[in-house]
Every structure is written in structure tokens, then in C-alpha cells.
Structure 1
Amino acid sequence: MLAGRCLCGAVHYAVADEFGYALNCHCGDCRRATGSAFKPFAGIERHKLSITRGEDQLMVHGEKDAGDLHCGKCGSLLFSVVREGLFVHVTLGTLTDTPRIRPSAHIFVGSKAPWFTITDDLPQYEGHVVDTRPRGDRT
């Protein structure tokens, strides 16, 4: 199990180191939610994550089965509930332990911040990774 927490320490969680995928999302919503150029996240089945401290401090933006869960004290974005409530996208920056997985691609680069340059060799997708081919493979 991996440990994670918010900035102020009011909310802690544990998640299995069994992520199915990890991506860097550049969409406007993820940029605004994190205050950064992109959101690095890893996806896993929801039942493999548990809140170990501060469940009463969670703030839900959206709906509990389709929204972002933040610490209600410091505002840290901990994870997003997606795919009809069955999966979570854990923000990699909130993990205190190191996961085995690493992001494998950049998604939604069609709306990335114009002031940010992607400098790694990971594939880049205009939209979601399942919706389109890598940027360099389009004709």
C-alpha cells in the first residue's frame, strides 16, 4: 500500500500500488484544479483507495461518484472519481510513497497552457488517449 495526504495533513489516504494507467492531463479543468501546467495522475479501481484520516474533512466538487475530492481545510486536490464512480484518478503529487507506475503519455495537449513546453519524449494526444492518435502520427 502507498500512503498519500493533503498539504495540511488533515486528510490521509492509502492506495494499492496497482495502478492501471498514469497520464499527464493538460486540459483546462485539470490546470485550474491544480494551479499547474498539467495534472499527473494514476488510475485505479475505487475500492483500492481508502481514506485513513480526515474523511469528515473531505470536500467534494461535483458529485461523490463523479467529482473531485479535496481537503476541506487546505484545498488540496487528492483524487477524482471517474468512470461511473468505479475508478479514481489519484493526483501523483499527493502520494508520500513512490508508486511503481510512471505517466505514459500527455493528454489534451490541444488545450495545454501556451506558456508550457513539453520537453520529454512521451506520446502526446490532442484529446484523450483512447480518442485519438499521438500528435506525431496524424496525417
Structure 2
Amino acid sequence: MSNRTLAGKCYCGAVQYEVVDAFLYAMNCHCSNCRRTTGSAFKPVAGIEREKLAVTQGVDGLLIYGGDKAHDAHCGKCGSLLYSMVRDGAYVHVTMGTLVDAPTIRPSHHIFVGSKAPWFTITDDLPQYEGHVTRS
């Protein structure tokens, strides 16, 4: 596991964060909510324990959509989706497109392909799941 810290930021730079390069998993989510929040065909995310991410600039400028234990964190100025708090607040899904530095991990599968955009074709060989993938 790496101790290297990665930088991330929103489009306008008002909100910046650091996260340890120790992601536990990464995937491409095709659900309609992820498509709407990103304006894209899917959202590449990398999951990590909540305490391994720190907002280093602009925390007061975050727009939080949701509750204390499950929410999306956007920049309040430019709207960039930076991360989602998930799994009862224990983990965050960092939107990989907001990382300035390249993480070690790469997405290993696609989820919610049952509701993917009909105009988008998945062209890689990664496993595809109709819904969510649960881990034992």
C-alpha cells in the first residue's frame, strides 16, 4: 500500500483535496444518478476510507447534496463533483477525473450497465455488472 498523497481539485480550483494513493477499489458507474451528476456516460470512481481524504482548500465552499453519512460533495462555485460519501460515511468515492496526480489504481469493472446511456458503447474488456457489485 502506498503512502504517496495525491492532489485533486475542482474545475475552478476553489476546492482542493489530498487523498492517500491507497484506494481499495475503482470502477466505472453507469447509473443514471452518476451520469446526471457528471454530465457524462459514466463516472469513474476510486473508493477509500473516509479518513484518507482531506479537503485542503475551500471546505466552506463545498456544496453538500445529501446527509451526514451519504452525500455528494461539489464545489459550490463551479459545480464539480469531487467525491461521494458512501457506506454509512465510512468510505468516499473519489471522482477520478478530479485527481491532478495519477493514482496507482485503475477501474477494474463497470457497474449499473443495466441502466447505462443507450448512446454509449463500452469498448473495453472489463467485467460488466447489471447492478452493484457486492464484496464478501
Task: Tell me, yes or no, if structure 1 residue 75 matches structure 2 residue 87.
Answer: no
Pick from 29, 34, 44: which aligns with 1:30? 34
Superposed, 1:46-125 pairs within 5 Å as 46-125=50-129
Identity of aligned residues (%): 70
Q: TM-score by structure 1 length?
A: 0.93
Q: TM-score by structure 2 length?
A: 0.95
Count of aligned positions: 131
Q: Per-residue CA shift, 1:78-135, capped at 9, x if unaligned?
A: 000000001000000000000000000000000000000000000000001228xxxx
Root-mean-square deviation (CA, aligned residues, Å) is 0.9
Following superposition, the deviation at residue 60 of structure 1 comes to: 0.3
Following superposition, the deviation at residue 63 of structure 1 comes to: 1.3
Residue range with higher mean Cα deviation, 81-90 or 59-68: 59-68
State the partner residue of 2:23: 19
Stretches of 4+ aligned residues off by more than 3 angstroms:
none
AA of the residue aligned to 2:61: Q
In the alignment, the residues of structure 1 paired with residue 15 and residue 70 of structure 2 have an alpha-carbon distance, to the nearest angstrom, of 20
Gapped runs of 5+ residues in structure 1? 132-139
Following superposition, the deviation at residue 26 of structure 1 comes to: 0.2
In the alignment, the residues of structure 1 paired with residue 38 and residue 68 of structure 2 have an alpha-carbon distance, to the nearest angstrom, of 19
In the alignment, the residues of structure 1 paired with residue 128 and residue 26 of structure 2 have an alpha-carbon distance, to the nearest angstrom, of 13
Following superposition, the deviation at residue 65 of structure 1 comes to: 2.0
SS at match of 1:41: strand
Gapped runs of 5+ residues in structure 2? none
SS at match of 1:69: strand
Q: Per-residue CA shift, 1:2-43, capped at 9, x if unaligned?
A: 000000000000000000000000000000000000000000
In the alignment, the residues of structure 1 paired with residue 125 and residue 54 of structure 2 have an alpha-carbon distance, to the nearest angstrom, of 34
